[in-house]
Amino acid sequence: MPLIRSWLASANAPDCPFPLNNLPCGVFSRKGEEPRCGVAIGDRVLDVAGLEEAGLLHLPGGPWLDVPFWNDLMEAGPEVWAALRARLTAVLSDGAAEREAVQPFLHPLADVTLHMPFLVSEYTDFYAGRYHAFNVGSMFRGPENALPPNWLHIPIGYNGRASSVVVSGTPVRRPWGQVKGPDHAMPAFQPSRRFDFELELGAVVGLPSSGPVTVAEADAMIFGYVLLNDWSARDIQAWEYQPLGPFQAKATATTISPWVVMKAALEPFRVPTPPREVPLLPYLAEPGPMLYDIALEVALAPEGGPETVISRTNYREMYYSAAQQLAHHTTSGCPMNAGDLLGSGTISGPTPDSRGSLLELSWGGKEPVAIAGGSRSFIEDNDTLTLRGQARGDGYTIGFGDCTGKVLAALAEPYARS
C-alpha cells in the first residue's frame, strides 16, 4: 500500500511516524483542559472527541468518544473500528471537502500532554521470544538445557499487575526487594542492583471473550499494539521466581507508548512466524501470517549525556504471535476483557547487538555495554531508556511514539516511620 496523501503536509513526509496510513489512538490534554481522545496525524493531534461532539464524526452505535479512554470504542468491535478509520481518512485526505471544518480540531503535538490511551483491565506478560529464552536459559542452565521442556509447545506467560502499567514519560522508581545472600547467609532486603529493561510489543484486546477462541478469532479480537517496556529487577527475580515465576521483580512498572497503533495500520507488514522445531498442537495453528515486520531499537541516556542505541531488533523474530498467545490464554475458559494487555515477551534477535535486555546484552553483567562516556551492565540511577518502533511502507512510516522512562533512585528507607 502506498502513502495516503493528506492535506496536512507534515503527514506526508516519508519519515513522519504518523501518516494518514497510521491514525494511532491516544488520549491528550491541553493546558488547563481535561484529557480527551485524539488521533496522531503528522505533527498534530486530532481531537476526535471534539469531532464527534460537533457532528463531524458519526460512528455506528455512538457516541463512543465522550470519555477519556478508548475502551468503549474498542469494545464496539471491528465494524466501528473500520468506520472510524474510513471517516478520518476521508476528512484528512488530500482534497477533502471537510478540511476547513476539521482544522480547528488539530493541535500541535508539541503543545499537549499525553496520557494512558486506555484503561488496562488485566495484564499478562509472555516469554515467547526464541532467542531471548535461549540466551537466558544458556546463562543459567547451559545451552544444552536452555529451553524448558514445554517451551517449544506452549506460549509461557504469567499474570502481571495492571495497576503498575504507566504511560511513556512516567518516572520509574528503583525498587526494593529481597535478594539472595552469599552462600548460606540470610537474604538481604535492599534496592535492586540489577535493574533492567525488556523490549516488548503489547497487544491490546478490543473484543471480550467468554470461552476458548481460535487463533483466527483471537487475531480479530486485537484492537492494536503498543511498545512495552517490562522493567525487571533481575536480582529480586533470581531469588523469588522458583517455583511460581516472576512476582515482585516485575511489579514495579510496565511502561507503554502513548499511541495504540490499530491492527489495520499494520496489515501491510504481516509476516509469518518462524519454522517450528516441533509441531504445535492443532489449536495453536495459524491461518496465515500473524507477526509484523516492525523494526525496534532501544536507546540509553545517562543524566545530562547523549543517548546511545544499545539494541536493534525486529518483532518478526518472535516465536509465538500475539494471536497465538491470546488463543492459548482462553483455553481454560479464562474470560478476556476489552483493555486487556498482552506483553509479547522480550524481543531479541540472533546477534549480540539485537538482544532485547541488558541481562542479555551484558551477558549477566560479565560483558558491560559501551555507551557514550562509559558503560552499563544494568541500569543506573537517572538513566533514561527509550524504546522505538517503526514499520516502513512505500513512502511512509508507521510509528508508535517513543516509549520512555527515567529510573529514579530508590527510596532511602521504605519502611521508615516518623
**Domains along the chain with CATH numbers:** 9-115 (2.30.30.230), 123-408 (3.90.850.10)
Q: Give the pLDDT score at 418.
A: 59
The pLDDT > 90 percentage for the chain reads 96
How does the average pLDDT of the chain come out, rounded? 97
Average pLDDT over residues 109-130: 98
What average pLDDT does this structure show over 270-297? 97
- Residue 244 CA to residue 122 CA, distance in Å, equals 19
What share of the chain in percent tops pLDDT 70?
A: 100
Determine the average pLDDT of the residues in 115-137.
97
Q: What are the tens digits of pLDDT across the range 356-408? A: 999 999 999 999 999 999 999 999 999 999 999 999 999 999 999 999 999 99
Confidence of residue 96 (pLDDT cuts 50, 70, 90): very high
pLDDT the model gives residue 123: 98
pLDDT tens digits along 130-181: 999 999 999 989 999 999 999 999 999 999 999 999 999 999 999 999 999 8
CA atoms within 13 A on the CB side of 114: 28
What is the band of 183 on the pLDDT scale with cuts at 50, 70, 90?
A: confident
Cα separation of 252 and 97, whole Å? 49
> What is the rounded average pLDDT of the residues 106-133?
97
- Residue 33's Cβ-count burial label (10 Å; 0-12, 13-18, 19+) is exposed
All 3 cell numbers of residue 257? 507508548
Contact 413, 190 (CB under 8 A): no
Nearest to 239 by CA among 160, 181, 191, 197: 181
Mean pLDDT of 413-417: 81
Partners of 209 in the beta sheet?
336
Say whether 352 sits in a helix, a strand or coil.
helix
State pLDDT tens for residues 21-30: 999 999 999 9
pLDDT at 184 over 90: no
Record the cell numbers describing residue 411, joined without a space. 527510596
Give the residue among 111, 64, 59, 108 at the shortest CA–CA distance from 85.
59
Per-residue confidence (pLDDT) for residue 392, from 0 to 100 = 98
C-alpha cell at 168: 511513556
State the pLDDT at residue 416. 78
Instruction: Give me the active site residues, please.
Output: 132
